[in-house]
Amino acid sequence: MFQKTDFDIFNDQTLEGRMHKVRTVIDPKFEAFADLAMPILNADGRPWVAHVAKHKMRKVNPPENTWVAFAPNKRGYKMEAHFELGFWDDHLYFYLAIEENMKKVKADGPRLAEQMMALSDEVSKLPSDYVLSQDHMDNNRHELSEYGEIVTRYGRVKAAEVLIGRQIPKDSPLFDDSEKLTKVLLDTLKELLPLYEQLAD
């Protein structure tokens, strides 16, 4: 499964070279993780699908991150709350993701922000190593204490997003114990599922 050497893909500064490494090194591991995650996800009766990022729009610059998204929709995932596992050059992450596209399909931003704000107490009780991100295409990190502020921004700013989960730095000792790392990722999924269920209703 995932290990510290996986981050070496980002050392290749060419589009062709990095994409080859993504497809041959990272994507098979995403698919292997999906095999473990699917029984957990499918327990709710929804038709969950793993969407591995293809980076088809990349023509010149190599992707700065890569991911697999899990959603109960074979046509896509950005239009609804979903789970996302991915790599940046300095960390592995697992998020419950509420992206900007969800505002266009499900409801308006302020209404979605109200739904998410109602989860504030539950978010505050998540494990202490949980963090937030405001954009799945930007390497950023915020403390859980900023949840209210970030959700309010989501309701007001068109491109804003809310991502909740764990970031595991590439120098974490977890990368020396593949089984333990995999357990942490699966535990993160299980811990985030109650939040997902309330947003998916």
Radius of gyration of the chain (CA): 16
Q: Which residues touch 54 (CB under 8 Å, ≥6 apart)? A: none
- For residue range 16-42, list pLDDT tens digits in order: 999 999 999 999 999 999 999 999 999
Strand, coil or helix: 114: helix
What is the rounded average pLDDT for all residues in the chain? 92
The share of the chain scoring above pLDDT 90, in percent, equals: 74
Residue 165 falls in which region: left (phi positive, over 0), alpha (psi -120 to 50) or beta: left
Q: Are 85 and 66 in contact (CB under 8 A)?
A: no
Number of Cβ within a 10 Å radius of residue 196: 22
Residue 179 has which token pair? 């089984």
Q: Are 131 and 141 in contact (CB under 8 A)?
A: yes
| pLDDT for 96 | 97
Q: Describe the crossing of helices 27-42 and 178-200 by its angle, rounded to 10 degrees.
A: 50
**Range of the structural domain that residue 46 is part of:** 4-200
**Angle at alpha carbon of residue 178, lines to 175 and 181, rounded to 5°:** 70
Strand, coil or helix: 201: coil
Is the whole-model pTM more than 0.75?
yes
Residue 3 has which token pair? 């290990």
The enclosing domain of 56 has a CATH number of: 3.30.930.20
Question: Could you give the number of structural domains in the chain?
Answer: 1
DSSP 63: P
- For residue range 87-102, list pLDDT tens digits in order: 999 999 999 999 887 7
